[in-house]
């Protein structure tokens, strides 16, 4: 479902060119659970941004669900993102002035879903993520774990096939972290492709498929159970 061919991403910093991704080839099938690990600056965030279509590769070819998405217009990219990809961030990125329910509703509003259907889907999500009594709270009235649950509810409200999580537990205490990972893995068991970027080895090892990056290149790509 995700197929990257010869992806390169170069940044110009001052008069130097930084190669954030070097000839990355990667194929991820639907329903896989993949972790991407590596030190800071190894290019794992850039890889995530490329897959999520927030960033465009300098060279290379990207196919999503069998469709070339390398050269789509802004409008089309937004639609593809909306329908296929859910984001979970380290810093939650909830809109502070909106309530939990309103945050969860945002992707539906952007997609132009009508009000009745929105309310119904948001209610379902709130119940599913155990936020029943927190729906009308603003993010600053929620705990870290609750905030991340709101973020996951928002990421899944459009029922995307792919969830991208960038250090989803990086800002949480251990207990909340386990809870969140649990939620994400449950989604994966339901068939969602899960891609987790982390430099926490314990989290990375939970994935069935582990990718390690160094200096913009994939240096290892192994399945759980195989030797590494």
Partner 1 sequence: MRAADVLLLVAKSIRAQRLRSALILIAMAIGVAAVIVLAALGEGARRYITGEFSALGTNLIFILPGRSETTGGQPPLLGETPRDLTLDDALALLRSPYIANVAPVVIGSAPVSGGQRERESNIMGSTSDLLAVRHLNLAQGRFLPEIPAQRALPVCVIGQTVRNELFGSRPVLGQWLRIGDRRFRVIGVLASEGQSVGVDFDEVVIVPVASAQALFDSPALFRILVETKSRGATMPAIEDINRTIEERHEGENDVTVITQDSVVHTFDVILTKVTLGIAGIAAISLAVSGTLIMNVMLVSVSQRTAEIGLLKAIGAASAQLKILFLAEAALLSLTGAAAGLAGGYAGALAVARLYPAFPITVPGWSPLAALATALATGLLFGVLPAARAAKLDPVEALARR
Out of 1, 78, 135, 217, point to the residue binding partner 1 (CB under 8 A).
78
* Binders of partner 1 in range 12-51 (CB under 8 A): 49
Strand residue runs (E) in 14-122: 16-28, 33-37, 59-64, 67-68, 85-88
Which one of residues 15, 74, 140, 190 is an interface residue with partner 1 (CB under 8 A)?
Answer: 74
Residue 158 binds partner 1 (CB under 8 A): yes
User: Binder to partner 1 among 79, 199, 206, 209 (CB under 8 A)?
Assistant: 79
| Residues 219, 206 contacting (CB under 8 angstroms) | no
Residues 27-63: b if buried by 16+ CB within 10 A, e if exposed: ebeeebbbbbbbeeebbbbbbbbbbbbebebeebebe
Name the segment binding partner 1 (CB under 8 A); options: 100-108, 124-132, 174-182, 194-202. 100-108
| Pick 63 or 102: Cβ nearer partner 1 | 102
Q: Is 148 exposed, middle or buried (0-12, 13-18, 19+ CB in 10 A)?
A: buried
Separation of alpha carbons 10 and 32, rounded Å: 28
199 binds partner 1 (CB under 8 A): no
The enclosing H or E element of 152 equals helix 144-156
Query: CA angle, 113 as apex, 110 and 116 as ends, to 5°?
Result: 130
62-70, 107-115, 175-183, 184-192 -> range binding partner 1 (CB under 8 A): 107-115
Is residue 1 near partner 1 by the rule CB under 8 A?
A: no
Q: Supply φ then ψ for residue 134, to 5 degrees.
A: -115, 5
Q: How many C-beta atoms lie closer than 10 Å to residue 3's C-beta?
A: 16
Does residue 112 touch partner 1 according to CB under 8 A?
A: yes
Beta carbon of residue 91, minimum distance to partner 1 (angstroms, whole number): 5
Q: Which of 21-29, 80-88, 120-128, 208-216 is the region at the interface with partner 1 (rule: CB under 8 A)?
A: 80-88
Site membership for partner 1, residue 128 (CB under 8 A): no
Per CB under 8 A, residues contacting partner 1 are 49, 52, 54-55, 74-75, 77-79, 81-83, 87, 89, 91, 93, 95-98, 102, 106-107, 109-112, 114-115, 154-155, 158
């Amino acid at each position: 479902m995700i197929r990257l061919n010869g992806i390169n991403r170069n940044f110009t910093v001052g008069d130097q060119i930084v190669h954030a991704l070097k000839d990355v080839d990667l194929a991820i099938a639907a329903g896989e659970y993949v972790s991407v690990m590596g030190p800071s600056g190894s290019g794992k965030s850039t890889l995530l941004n490329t897959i999520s279509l927030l960033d465009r590769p300098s060279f290379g070819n990207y196919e999503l669900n069998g469709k070339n998405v390398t050269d789509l217009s802004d409008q089309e990219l937004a639609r593809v993102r909306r329908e296929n990809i859910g984001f979970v961030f380290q810093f939650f990125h909830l809109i502070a002035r909106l309530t939990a329910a309103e945050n969860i509703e945002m992707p539906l509003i952007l997609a132009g879903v009508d009000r009745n259907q929105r309310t119904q889907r948001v209610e379902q999500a709130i119940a599913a993520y155990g936020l029943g009594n927190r729906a009308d709270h603003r993010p600053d009235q929620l705990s870290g774990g609750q905030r991340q649950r709101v973020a996951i509810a928002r990421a899944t409200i459009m029922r995307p096939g792919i969830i991208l999580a960038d250090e989803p537990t990086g800002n949480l205490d251990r207990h909340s972290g386990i809870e969140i990972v649990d939620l994400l893995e449950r989604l994966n068991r339901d068939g969602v492709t899960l891609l987790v970027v982390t430099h926490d080895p314990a989290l990375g090892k939970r994935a069935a498929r582990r990718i390690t990056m160094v200096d913009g290149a994939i240096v290892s790509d192994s399945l759980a159970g195989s030797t590494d």
